[in-house]
Amino acid sequence: MSRYTPGSVPDRLAHNMYEVDEGNPHIEVHQDIARATGTGRLLVKVCPAHVYSEEPDGTISVEYAACLECGTCLAVAAPGALTWHYPASAMGIVFREG
């Protein structure tokens, strides 16, 4: 009888595939509101895929192609600070392990 032993989280995530909808981001940060409410820095902290990063001028950059579609950013963003929707059909992440 074999026993399944999962790898590390980064190893398991590496099995996923991404169908990137080039030029059609599914995430937009509304910079003024994000800055005023502190949402920008919160997004940087909570995203497990490091989609968000803070530039030296305080602008929040978005690397939407890496999104895991977990919804965490939506749960913490102040109203109006973030527009997020699922990528178009058949686009986005393709999970290989759960």
Site for ligand SF4 contains 60 (CB under 6 A): no
Burial class (CB in 10 A: 0-12, 13-18, 19+), 13: middle
The one among 40, 67, 81, 92 contacting ligand SF4 by CB under 6 A? 67
Chain centroid to CA 26: how far? 10
Using CB under 6 A as the binding criterion, the count of chain residues that bind ligand SF4 stands at 12
Residue pair 77/69 in contact by the 8 Å Cβ criterion:
no
The stretch among 3-11, 15-23, 31-39, 41-49 that binds ligand SF4 (CB under 6 A) is 41-49
Site for ligand SF4 contains 16 (CB under 6 A): no
CA–CA separation, 8 and 83 (whole Å) = 31
Q: Which residues bind ligand SF4 (CB under 6 A)?
A: 27, 47-49, 51, 67-73
